[in-house]
Chains A and B, each alone.
Chain A
Amino acid sequence: MMILGLVVAAILGVAYVQWKMDNPSVPRFGVASAAAVAGAAVTPIAMGQCGFAAEATGVDNLLAFGLMAVGAWLALIGVHALFDRADGRIKESSQMTGEIRGSGYRMGWWVPWLLLSPTLIILVVFLYYPAVKTFTLSTQLTRLGAPKSVEVCFGNFSELLITDPVKLVAYPLIALAAIYGAKLWITRSAPGTWSRRGADVASVAAMLSVFVAMYAMFSPGGGGQVAYRPVYINTIIISVGIVALGMAGGMAIAYLAFRNLRGGGIYRTLLIWPYAISPAVAGVLFFMIFDPTAGIFTHGLESWFGIDVPNYREHAVLAMAAIILASAWKILGYNILFYLAGLQTVPLEQIEAAIIDGASSWQRFRTIVLPAVSPITFFLLVTNLTYAFFEVYATIDFMTKGAPAGKTSVAIYEIIRVGVNSGDLGRGAAQSVLLFIAVIAVTLWQFRTSGSRVTYGGA
């Protein structure tokens, strides 16, 4: 089976050169297919071909092929860059070294490396080595202090997924087809027509279908599988909630605080404070506010208005809302800070012109201010999403511990619960790898979609 994968990789290498590159030639076909084969062979060899072993399931085969495909693809990207350089499309060296040379310094090839070495060492020690270690751990059954570990191949991953390999391939393909279909529709329809509006709706639906497809790919649990669907849903709801509330709230407050007020500097400084608080403290604060026995909020509502507030930790919706509120509040200061800085770049002449033209304040906000701060919005989208994915552990641990019955347990909370608290390093590592892939995918997607709509002024 591995040989089959390698043959396919070799053919793909040739096809890639034929269709994606400008100067196809026989030697280049050879180099590309050799690189593709080598790239595809890395993971199965490193893992001892366990994904194709006799006892491997269809899902294991699929994951093994998937890794081979990724390896081949990365190798081909490298080959592509190499050929482009050979064709002189990319300058031989970066501009920086050229400038230094131009200004009279003579230096060996090793000088840039020497200057870079502190950063590289830090990256290797604190980033690349742990990352590689995480990948190795994710294929093992292992615990801290254990005398041995057991290789489980893709077991830690496949138990999070549904068991039918055909569906696992079909769902993402359907979502992908929906996206490309919607794109095609948009290009074929003229702006302003009903057809275009339909296409716009379809493209939103297609994006949502990606989330639905992923939902369908995760295991609902039972039969020895881990119920990962609820974790996925919780992560989506809580992350989207935090980012939406945090950014909309941050923008709204920043816009209000930006006006010329007496003592505005004091307000602006005070508004930034929540950012200096750690997620754990935010969790404790909101725990104290909403706690059913000792909370100020609950106590106040009960004693002043006679409203009997239910325990938020026993109701999924309330518990999620409380987590979103606490986490969004904590990131609010950060967003306000950046929006305040961003608002200073809004061109005043345009605002004045708009006022003279009789634009309402909402129109001015929507058509001038929002596009002007779009680089900030894009930056905040990435950082807020990273925060929502990675930093909410402490808040959740203090407020709900995943209650009620796992309804507020998001991906990062599960990773720490499984990997650290229960000591199951392999499963924890596998879930981290999953989150790692998700973050990369979301970031790439953001760069492709939001990135194109961001205006950095000027042109």
Chain B
Amino acid sequence: MKYRLLALLAVISLIAAACGSGDADTTTTAVSGGDDGGTADVIDIDFWVAFSDEARLGFAEDAATAFNANHSDYNIKVTSFASYNDAFDAAVLAVDSGEPPALIHFFEAATRQALDAVDEAGNPIFKSVTEAIGGRSEILGEPVVLDDVVSAARNYYTVDGSFYSMPWNTSSTVMFNNMDILNEAGITEPPATWADVEAACEAIAALPDGPSGCITWPNHSWFVEQSMGQVGELLANADNGRSGRATEVYLESDGMLDYLNWWKSLSDAGYYTYTGLQRDWDGTSNAYIAGEVAMLIYSSSDTTFFDENTDFTNVASFMPRNGDVPYVGNLIGGATIWMLDGMDSATEDGALAFMNFFSNPENAAAWHQLTGYIPITQAAVDLLEAEGWYEESPNSKVASDQLAAAANTPASLGALLGNFVGIRDIITIAIEDILVNDLDVATRIAAANEEANKSLSEYEQLFGG
């Protein structure tokens, strides 16, 4: 018995050690090329994707397979990462070790960081897609679609006059409304302004069998940034970092204080449900689907998901805004595909051809229908209109309409900021502190502003000038 137990102990220790060290961060899916036998002339193109869910990663893998079938001399290899940061850090390290991917999927908030990233010799890691295309209208038989990208995305990702990366998943903030509850409370139209939301919540709270909460959205800095865009307030100097490098953030602006005070007042009144986690996309989405809240402010990326998974009348509307201030515009969110510098021309052309194939009208439309991310090119919009998609699912059009309604100003484009990921964390921690610990908005946000500015100035010390 004694020895058996010891043997068991040894085995379990080994298994646990193996489980502990085998950090399954990445999985590689080798997508087989057109001809199975020939490997000598096939050029491998690594494409690192920061999605790990079956639907979105699967879409990328299917597109890679389709591309490989048409181009037998190329083999797109999709590798999945758990997050944008994981993929980016891995790419920076891979550049230094000499085995970088050709394409990497990276998110909008870190655009500045991607532009600033350099290898050990001090050369930029990424190459401008516009520059690499060099005015060609087709590459390896794939028509170039970059020029057709919708203006909201084009304007966001254009830095110093150059469109650096190829947009893929692009969304905006929309509100999803449980019309069954709203109608029961006597509200016939989705609330458009903050005052409308408050009135609706008041009516819903008065319902005898109403839900426990009224509205929720994730405590994610993206919603704060959206709100700044709506009222035309800059988040950072140098025109939100678009006319030069941003060196100072403005977290103490009137727009910010108004928004956070409104948020806190909703929370204090019991209308806003805080799930207790920062960046909690799942918890807020679950609360809406379960009917625990009547309204959910969320990313349009999940429009199709909500259409398919709600058993009530689900209607999407514009993100509610401050009715006392003229509307300027909402911004985009999402990610683009960045191309690494330093590849030979055959590999680079393959990568460019794949990117343009990936966002060709059929693929872009299918991607939109699968998720709710906006159709990224005008041709894809036309295709969807011709198919009658928008009559069939009107919720899917809301995000595009909202972006079309936005003025093209630095405020509504959103900020390009160094260390934006860290600054976003500073913002969400401050909001959590305000909501949970009932702190004064102005005092707490002043501390966050100081912290964010210190963080930004340190970033500029390393990367600026």
Whether both chains belong to one complex is answered with: yes
A119 interfacial by beta-carbon distance below 8 Å:
no
The reply to whether B275 and A406 contact each other, CB–CB distance below 8 Å, is no
Stretch at the interface among A289-297, A349-357, A366-374: A289-297
A306 interfacial by beta-carbon distance below 8 Å:
no
User: Which of A145, A312, A344, A423 touches B421 (beta carbons < 8 Å)?
Assistant: A423
Contacts of B458 in A (CB 8 A): 141, 424
The reply to whether A275 and B276 contact each other, CB–CB distance below 8 Å, is no
Q: Please, what's the 1-or-0 string for A428-444, where 1 marks a CB less than 8 Å from any CB in chain B?
A: 00000000000000000
A401 interfacial by beta-carbon distance below 8 Å:
yes
Known A275-B16, A422-B422, A423-B422; judge A147-B283 contact (CB<8 A).
no
Contacts of B277 in A (CB 8 A): 313, 400-401, 403
The reply to whether B85 and A147 contact each other, CB–CB distance below 8 Å, is no
The reply to whether A311 and B9 contact each other, CB–CB distance below 8 Å, is no
Nearest 4 CB-CB pairs, A to B? A313-B276, A422-B422, A405-B433, A145-B117
Known A405-B432, A405-B437; judge A314-B274 contact (CB<8 A).
yes
The reply to whether B425 and A422 contact each other, CB–CB distance below 8 Å, is yes
The reply to whether A275 and B432 contact each other, CB–CB distance below 8 Å, is no
B42 interfacial by beta-carbon distance below 8 Å:
no
B15 interfacial by beta-carbon distance below 8 Å:
yes
The reply to whether B276 and A421 contact each other, CB–CB distance below 8 Å, is no
A142 interfacial by beta-carbon distance below 8 Å:
yes
Q: What class of interface size applies to chain B in its complex with A?
A: 35 or more
The reply to whether B20 and A278 contact each other, CB–CB distance below 8 Å, is yes
CB nearest neighbor in B for A404: B436
Q: Is the interface of A mostly helix, strand, loop or mixed?
A: loop
A195 interfacial by beta-carbon distance below 8 Å:
no
The reply to whether B421 and A276 contact each other, CB–CB distance below 8 Å, is no
Instruction: Determine the distance from Cα of A311 to Cα of B286 in the docked complex, in whole angstroms.
Output: 15
Number of interface residues of A (CB under 8 A): 43
Contacts of B312 in A (CB 8 A): none
Instruction: Determine the distance from Cα of A402 to Cα of B278 in the docked complex, in whole angstroms.
Output: 9
A337 interfacial by beta-carbon distance below 8 Å:
yes
B292 interfacial by beta-carbon distance below 8 Å:
yes
Contacts of B275 in A (CB 8 A): 292-293, 311, 313
User: Which of B290, B425, B463 touches A146 (beta carbons < 8 Å)?
Assistant: B463
Question: From residue B438, how far is it (CB to closest CB) to chain A in Å?
Answer: 11
The reply to whether B12 and A275 contact each other, CB–CB distance below 8 Å, is yes
Q: Please, what's the 1-or-0 string for B78-120, where 1 marks a CB less than 8 Å from any CB in chain A?
A: 0000000100010011000000000000000000010011100
User: Which of B93, B116, B286, B421 touches A421 (beta carbons < 8 Å)?
Assistant: B421
User: Other CB < 8 Å A-B pairs besides A294-B290, A314-B276, A334-B16, 19 of them?
Assistant: A141-B458, A142-B462, A145-B116, A146-B463, A147-B118, A147-B462, A147-B463, A276-B12, A278-B19, A293-B283, A311-B275, A313-B276, A314-B274, A314-B436, A344-B2, A401-B277, A401-B279, A403-B436, A422-B419
The reply to whether A337 and B290 contact each other, CB–CB distance below 8 Å, is no
24 sampled A-B residue pairs with Cβ under 8 A:
A141-B458, A141-B461, A145-B118, A145-B125, A146-B118, A146-B462, A147-B118, A276-B12, A276-B16, A293-B275, A293-B290, A314-B276, A341-B5, A403-B436, A404-B276, A404-B437, A405-B436, A417-B425, A420-B89, A422-B425, A422-B455, A423-B85, A423-B421, A424-B422
Contacts of A421 in B (CB 8 A): 85, 421-422, 425
B454 interfacial by beta-carbon distance below 8 Å:
yes
B328 interfacial by beta-carbon distance below 8 Å:
no
User: Which of A143, A148, A276, A400 touches B15 (beta carbons < 8 Å)?
Assistant: A276
Q: Please, what's the 1-or-0 string for A252-294, where 1 marks a CB less than 8 Å from any CB in chain B?
A: 0000000000000000010010011010000000000001111
Instruction: Determine the distance from Cα of A224 to Cα of B463 in the docked complex, in whole angstroms.
Output: 22
Contacts of B419 in A (CB 8 A): 143, 422-423
User: Which of A142, A150, A292, A338 touches B276 (beta carbons < 8 Å)?
Assistant: A292
Contacts of B337 in A (CB 8 A): none
Instruction: Determine the distance from Cα of A379 to Cα of B116 in the docked complex, in whole angstroms.
Output: 49
The reply to whether A293 and B462 contact each other, CB–CB distance below 8 Å, is no
Within 145-175 of A, Cβ neighbours of B (below 8 Å) are at 145-150
Known A311-B275, A403-B277; judge A422-B432 contact (CB<8 A).
no
Contacts of A184 in B (CB 8 A): none
B429 interfacial by beta-carbon distance below 8 Å:
yes
Instruction: Determine the distance from Cα of A293 to Cα of B432 in the docked complex, in whole angstroms.
Output: 18
